[in-house]
Structure 1
């Protein structure tokens, strides 16, 4: 007999990041709490059989992404007043919109990723009003794209690299996907034939080059040209052939190359100066883009 979901008269209100830690018996393996990501919070954890209390969040839409493999873990779930017994396998997701209560118990140990998207950031991905967006709750359902986004975010958290722009780009892709496939009213995504105007592209390029040493964010770059993150990414790639994250990495490598050839700074110092998390982070991207390591460049 599995754990049974018990009703609660006073649901737990998840309005602060650290409250998530109070729900589960074990601490998370990874979290983004210290990563500085804007509008998205992520945790990766492995939990034993357990029952969490009834809860809801006024701030976040949450997505659970199950990564335990192809075997089923049975869970008794209450979601938006409906009860369901899920047989959850790896690759399944559960969507709990903001202000929707949920409660769950599960019968075997398993690992999963939790992603929480801030309501306002989520809606602004495609210039939607956050109060008009209605996300439909989902019991366990497979979604390969959301699964891959979760794994990508888990990987960059584990790598301990400066990764805010990449993480926020992934979160934006996730937001647009959820709006397209799990909302009551599908957003109208405009199509553009061209890219950014020369003036706007130059504004963004100048901003990036002036702040290469910082962990730049997607919404921050989109705000330079007063666009939603989704349209900014679309037009920027049309103009440059690269995503904003790829472009920033390329700029950092080119700046590092110039500083290495000047010969005034140690390679480790150059890595930090151009915005890489460490020298190995610089070495990896340097070799990938230029075909040689920084030391090999000096030996030429």
Structure 2
């Protein structure tokens, strides 16, 4: 049984959780890089390319570079998480001004990296919940995965660069004006006229918050104001502030300000 790639979610970073039976597991060529995180107990497999048997354990990572096919023979059913992202995301991480050209990802098998596994499962959990955090969350994690794969966390110190005051204001104004929409890192990067990776790094340096956390807090503040000053239903407030649904708003409000929408509204009217 082979994965059906039509099940992938749209966007820069895509994910599929696959349950596969024993037998051939084949991955055709794609124009995207793919990370496969093994999600089952030990699975004995055979790689015809090298003519050897291997045991894949939970957390083992296979990295398949764009333009390459892959696969193996599995002796038992297994689960795997497949994350894909385009070559353009790597250019965002490495930058396009490198005289030596952008660094590339090479196919590798049976890697172990707790950070990549954790990031992959974070995207999986969000998709399984109906993607309440939106593409901004997934794309931000995708950039973190790409940076980890390229080993940027051990590279030379970052240059002394930052967002200008005008760039930062443009981004913040855009967020305020479109708070109810599914804001994407790609969109905000275009507003700032910088790459996704640079916006992610420089925005946090300027504000002390990741882009995702800043947007989340601005949504909660907008929701708080609507709950106190209007009679809109909580579901409508969630919709107008960019949350996926009422329970999504309630969960984040409880986490950020220690109150649910209902509790906040009740106390504001005593």
Per the normalisation by structure 2, the TM-score is: 0.88
Q: Match of 2:80?
A: 112
Q: Match of 1:177?
A: 148
Q: Distance in 1 between matches of 2:44 and 2:260?
A: 49
Point out the more displaced range, 222-231 or 118-127. Answer: 118-127
Q: Which of 68, 89, 94 is equivalent to 1:126? A: 94
CA separation of 1:151/1:102 partners in 2, compared to 1, >3 Å: closer, same or farther? same
CA separation of 1:116/1:84 partners in 2, compared to 1, >3 Å: closer, same or farther? farther
Displacement of 1:54 in angstroms is 6.5
Point out the more displaced range, 152-161 or 192-201. Answer: 192-201
Q: Match of 2:138?
A: 167
Q: SS of the residue aligned with 1:112?
A: strand
Q: Which of 63, 70, 82 is equivalent to 2:35? A: 63
CA separation of 1:286/1:202 partners in 2, compared to 1, >3 Å: closer, same or farther? same
Aligned residues between the structures: 264
Point out the more displaced range, 133-142 or 288-297. Answer: 133-142
Displacement of 1:189 in angstroms is 6.4
**Alignment of structure 1 residues 80-119 onto 2, 5 Å:** 82-119=50-87
Q: SS of the residue aligned with 1:174?
A: helix
Q: SS of the residue aligned with 1:125?
A: helix
Displacement of 1:261 in angstroms is 1.2
Q: Distance in 1 between matches of 2:50 and 2:69?
A: 10
Q: Which of 6, 9, 16 is equivalent to 1:43? A: 16
Q: Distance in 2 between matches of 1:96 and 1:194?
A: 33
Give unpaired runs (5+ residues) of structure 2: none
Q: Distance in 2 between matches of 1:189 and 1:201?
A: 25
Note if 1:23 corresponds to 2:8: no
Per the normalisation by structure 1, the TM-score is: 0.80
Q: Distance in 2 between matches of 1:192 and 1:168?
A: 23
CA contact (8 A) 2:25 2:74 kept: no
User: How large is the RMSD of aligned CA atoms in angstroms?
Assistant: 2.6
Q: Match of 2:205?
A: 238
CA contact (8 A) 2:34 2:63 kept: yes
Residue deviations 1:240-262, cap 9 Å, x none?
Answer: 11100001010000001111111
**Alignment of structure 1 residues 215-234 onto 2, 5 Å:** 215-234=182-201
Give unpaired runs (5+ residues) of structure 1: 1-21
